[in-house]
Structure 1
Amino acid sequence: MALPMRRTLVSLHRATCLCLTNAEASLGLRHPVYVPVRTKKRYFIPPAAGIKQRTEGNMEAKSRAAGLVMRQEFSERPINIACTAGVFDPYIPPEGDARLSTLSKEGLKQRTEQIRQSAASQLAIRKIKEHDTLFKTKDFAVRAQEIFTEAHHALIQFNKVKLHSLVTERCYPEMTRGNRYKTIHWRFIESLEPPRVVHARCPDMVSKGNLYGQVTVRMHSKQTLAVYDRFGRLMLGSEETPKDVLEYLVIERHLVNPYGLWRLHGKIVPSWAPAKDPIVKTVMIPGPKLRVDQEFDAVNYEVPKPAAVQWSK
């Protein structure tokens, strides 16, 4: 039954297609022919409208909606965890470096402040000994004096590698600033008093448990210092005349770091300390204009004096 029905439908389909073909031929209808023509390449130019309304926030929102990840730019200062940025709870030396009588009011205040500082120093020394088992106050004072002398010898020899291992990143620019075109002659003669530890602190930075040890050492010694400029003229000090120098050195170490070293971190200058000697700066005096065949005679040359200027009030 199904086979005769299929044959009937196929015959009807063929007959219908034949009738349609004959009708198109009688009417003269033809199918259109499409011929591809190559034209000029046209590049897409985005519209310039709405540029003023485009902000960084809108662009970032559109990029996030499109699924693009934009890299964030942070203007942050780098942090150096090898040393601290300053001296925590700095030691305040007593005026004149002498102990006043406890019977006076000022002497009683000085004694009370010393007791308070010594109690805090003992707690800090205990923390330092937990990380540095070889730490002893008597031996450390001598070691601090050696670090001080070695750092200054490396400074006058311009040994940057050794100087970095003896001073912290905070102390290095303070020691080397302004010494590019100068010659330094420094000499350690002797110690007038044995160095001793007068202050100790153990602060933490960035996170709890990131400990740093800061020990203040009192050093009274005799030294010589002479600074020459690039022309060889003396600017400061003298190589023959020694001076008595009283200094309070701050030595620091990153206690958490097992490879950390005790390095010079800075100095504490008391308010009652005498002022430093002024630096004698050299200036250039303009000389006469000479020809190629002339020579300058410094003996017979007179330095011209500046002309007098009348200043009006």
Structure 2
Amino acid sequence: MAAPMRRTLVALHRATCSSLKNAEASLDLRHPVPLYVPVRTKKRYFVPPAAGLKRKQQEDPEAAARAAGLVFRQQYFERPINISCTAGIFDPYVPPEGDARLSSLSKEGLKQRTEQLRQSAASQLAIRKIKEHDPQFTSRGFAERAREIFIEAHGALTRFDKEKLHSLVTERGYPEMTRGNRYKTISWRFIESLEPPKVVHARCPDMVTKGNLYGQVTVRMHSKQILAIYDRFGRLMLGSEEQPKDVLEYLVVERHLVNPYGRWRLHGKIVPSWAPAKDPIIKTVMIPGPELKPGQEFEALNYEVPKPKAVQWNK
């Protein structure tokens, strides 16, 4: 029963298809291209690695591109260059040992004096070059000017006036002055000069090209100052606001001589090898107190600070 019915349906299907084809041919009808909707396949949890992928990762891509006839574009690692100041101190001044403590009439003082006179020939030549670009430059007047720059720069540092500090300090000296002072309070005062400042060293180097001159002058300054540094919690870390100290410094002031708008700015300091060590930073710690009950007052006189327990350190 099922077989004859199937034959009948197949025959009807073929007849219908042939009649439709004849009708399309007579009417010249064309059906559009059937639309296939992509169906997401089953998710694969394991993706097999590509053949030879390890070898391809290890080989040099530039060599492979060169073998294939391709040209790699050259990469330039550029760094910004600042021509308004130099990157260091040229031929730094070597302070004589025992400066500000030895008398010029003593034997050691006379030796230092003769050594300074012998080394002053190069400084005189540099001063002549500086005067060609700065006619108002004089050794005595410049020492006073350098002291004013020093006082103004440190005053701007205590106020955190960045614009004023940039106009008084070079791009090399600015990071050295401001490093580590973000969360600190600085109290600084200039009391007096124990000795008049004087120019002890001068150099006029050129950089990048010949004729691009920079003037570097070292000024010896012996003064009395007050310095106190507080941390972000208001605790004293270094110095004192009541006790002034005698400070002997060798300041290096620099100017780009070729630039007509250049200014003399603080470039750095020279710290001699024989200088005494700096005072250690005072670090404060919190001592745990007793546990008080509500309404109970703390009696400092009757409280004993607990001693720390002995700890065995192993190397």
Quickly say closer, same or farther: Cα 1:307–1:114, change in 2 above 3 A. same
Report what 1:58 is aligned to. Answer: 63
Report what 2:212 is aligned to. Answer: 210
**Paired letter, 1:95:** E
Give the RMSD, CA atoms, in angstroms.
Answer: 3.4
- TM-score (norm: length of structure 1): 0.73
Range with bigger deviation, 281-290 or 170-179: 281-290
1:180-228 CA-to-partner distances (Å, cap 9, x unmatched) read 1111111111122221111100011222211110001111211111111
Distance in 1 (CA, whole Å) between partners of 2:207 and 2:181 is 32
Distance in 2 (CA, whole Å) between partners of 1:200 and 1:267 is 14
Specify the SS of the correspondent of 1:250: strand
Specify the SS of the correspondent of 1:205: coil
Distance in 1 (CA, whole Å) between partners of 2:268 and 2:142 is 16
**Which of 271, 275, 279 is the matching residue for 2:273?**
271
Quickly say closer, same or farther: Cα 1:275–1:297, change in 2 above 3 A. same
Quickly say closer, same or farther: Cα 1:312–1:182, change in 2 above 3 A. closer
Q: Report deviation, 1:59.
A: 5.0
Q: Report deviation, 1:297.
A: 4.6
1:38-73 CA-to-partner distances (Å, cap 9, x unmatched) read 999xxxxxx97683585332355368x46x7x5432
**Which of 258, 261, 268 is the matching residue for 1:259?**
261
* Structure 2: runs of 5 or more not aligned: 1-32, 37-49
1:81-134 CA-to-partner distances (Å, cap 9, x unmatched) read 2211211111122222246569x5x66753443123211011000111111122
**Which of 97, 121, 124 is the matching residue for 2:123?**
121
Pairing 1:140–2:142 present: yes
- TM-score (norm: length of structure 2): 0.73
**Which of 236, 239, 247 is the matching residue for 1:237?**
239
Pairing 1:159–2:164 present: no
Report what 1:9 is aligned to. Answer: none
Distance in 2 (CA, whole Å) between partners of 1:78 and 1:211 is 20
1:268-287 CA-to-partner distances (Å, cap 9, x unmatched) read 12223222211101234456
Residue identity over aligned pairs, in percent, reads 74
**Which of 179, 192, 196 is the matching residue for 1:190?**
192
* Structure 1: runs of 5 or more not aligned: 1-36, 41-46
Distance in 2 (CA, whole Å) between partners of 1:134 and 1:71 is 52
**Which of 221, 224, 230 is the matching residue for 1:222?**
224
Report what 2:182 is aligned to. Answer: 180
1:127-154 CA-to-partner distances (Å, cap 9, x unmatched) read 1111112211121111101100000000
Distance in 1 (CA, whole Å) between partners of 2:265 and 2:296 is 54
**Paired letter, 1:79:** I
| 2:185/2:229 contact within 8 Å kept | yes
Distance in 2 (CA, whole Å) between partners of 1:221 and 1:76 is 44
Pairing 1:79–2:81 present: yes
Quickly say closer, same or farther: Cα 1:111–1:186, change in 2 above 3 A. closer
Distance in 2 (CA, whole Å) between partners of 1:245 and 1:306 is 39
**Paired letter, 1:139:** G
| 2:292/2:298 contact within 8 Å kept | no
Quickly say closer, same or farther: Cα 1:52–1:217, change in 2 above 3 A. closer
